Amino acid sequence: MPLDPARIASAVLLATLAMLSLLVGVGIGLFAQPSRRANAIIMAFGTGALIQALALELAFEGAERLIREDHLSGLLSWLWVAAGFTAGGMLYYLGDRRLERYGAALRHPALAKLYLLRQKQQQSAALLARLAQVDLLRSLPPEEMEEVLLCVQPVQFAAGATIFHRGDAGDALYLIVSGQVAVLANNHADATESALLARLTEGQSFGEMALLTGEPRTATVTALTEVELLKIAREHFDELLDCSPRLRQAVEDLNSQRILQNVAALRQQAEADDWKKLALANIQRLSRHEEAALMEKHAAASAPLALFLGALLDGIPESLVIGSSFAGLESFRFTFLAAVFLSNLPEAIGSAVGMQQAGFSTKRIFTLWGLLVLAGALAAALGNAFLADAPPVLLTLVGAVAGGGILAMVSSVMMPEAYEDGGPAVGLATIAGFLAAFLFTFV
């Protein structure tokens, strides 16, 4: 059939109207800065409206179209719709995971936090593997290791360097990651000219005696080779002792046994690995300082193209559905359009705030979302031009694939983010959005 320019223009106008809430949301987020709870309630309302529109306007009406026009059975119609939703969800999942690697996670606060938390866990895994070899710290329950990680500072010394002298104030505990150190009876740096008290290597600790007794260092420690150490400063060490009775008891036991001169053998590697896994499983949160630092680092490394493609992944299916389903104003249902408008608003508010905190300029943020509005208009035009008159089987499949992508985005981004910021009240807001959209089917 020949293209209908007037119909395509109307579809583009409707899709643009729905997508313009992105720019409205960016403006609200950057300049009005509503509370996170208020934004969460709006997001939950939009989520409920989207779920209703997906269930009735895409899934149910698509299956009904196949039964009515292609005379398929109810089961075959369901299978066709189910296959489309599953494919759409998988495409969104795979595309989203791929784009996250290039910086696209920053487009959503919920995705950004999850991505940054995974980065923190990956960085913590290597550190925990080292800490798991140290008997002193392995006396801590794994669930307490997150506090230890915040206190550890990596330091390095060249071969021959003095780490501290006898008589120095005890300012830190040291854990050996790699290399060897010599514990000497006096301040001579050359172990051959001094009484060598101990030779310590990977997995062992030193410097705790002065921290426990409050007395000056009783020995000199030098690097026999290039060494990599983990340092826990006195103030952090004291805090850990105050917070963990188990660690205090372990340290007191080690003090009475004089482990500095007679370090116990390491436990079995399997036990250390199990401890590390349990400790890593408890790395479940980011401090505000960590989140800000990682967000800034992530923003610097983020590719603008990845952010734009990620935003396309969220918004294009919605515009495609609007364009392909538009045949005329008299038959067009505005339920889905209203749901998209409402869901875009809080999404853009949260994203704009997150991008601003990560160092993105106002111009860059508006440009990103403005391009998305244009891309959505183009998707609606293409959807109407090539799909509005398509066979029912193809039209239903395309709508189901788009619906699966939208539902995957709703469940993985909008719902977790709304609950995190709004708490249990978002359940009522979601129901309200669902019922409001459901009302449109009767008017």
User: pLDDT tier at 266 (50, 70, 90 boundaries)?
Assistant: very low
- Average pLDDT of the residues in 158-175: 89
- Average pLDDT of the residues in 255-280: 48
108 three-state secondary structure: coil
- Average pLDDT of the residues in 326-355: 82
Mean pLDDT for all residues in the chain: 78
Q: Which residues contact 113 (CB under 8 A, 6 or more apart)?
A: 286, 291
Strand ranges for 144-247 from DSSP E: 152-157, 162-164, 172-178, 181-184, 196-200, 205-206, 220-223, 227-233
pLDDT attached to residue 267:
42
Q: At which residue do the structure tokens 């409205």 appear?
A: 24
Whole-angstrom distance, CA of residue 160 vs CA of residue 143: 38
Report the range out of 129-143, 292-306, 351-365 with the highest average pLDDT: 351-365
Q: At which residue do the structure tokens 């890593």 appear?
A: 280
412: left (phi over 0), alpha (psi -120 to 50) or beta: alpha
Residue of 141 and 256 predicted with greater confidence? 141
Q: Which two tokens stand for residue 235?
A: 């103030």
> CA-CA distances (angstroms) from residue 320 to 87, 316, 317, 376, 396?
16, 6, 5, 8, 12
Global pTM reads: 0.60
Query: Rounded to the nearest 10 degrees, what angle do helices 335-357 and 304-325 cross at?
Result: 170
**Does residue 231 have a pLDDT over 60?**
yes
pLDDT attached to residue 140:
65
Which range, of 91-105, 301-315, 319-333, averages the lowest pLDDT?
301-315
Beta strands at 196-200 and 227-233: parallel, antiparallel or unpaired: unpaired
Taking Cα atoms as reference points, which of 151, 130, 176 lies closest to residue 239? 151
User: pLDDT tier at 227 (50, 70, 90 boundaries)?
Assistant: very high
Contact 88, 405 (CB under 8 A): yes
Supply the DSSP string of 55-83, one letter for each residue. Answer: IIIIIIHHHHHHHHHS---HHHHHHHHHH
Which range, of 132-141, 205-214, 283-292, 299-308, averages the lowest pLDDT?
283-292
pLDDT attached to residue 309:
75
CATH 2.60.40.350 fits 134-265, yes or no: no
Residue of 247 and 93 predicted with greater confidence? 93
For the chain, domain boundaries: 5-118+289-440, 134-265
Which range, of 31-40, 246-255, 319-328, 349-358, averages the lowest pLDDT?
246-255
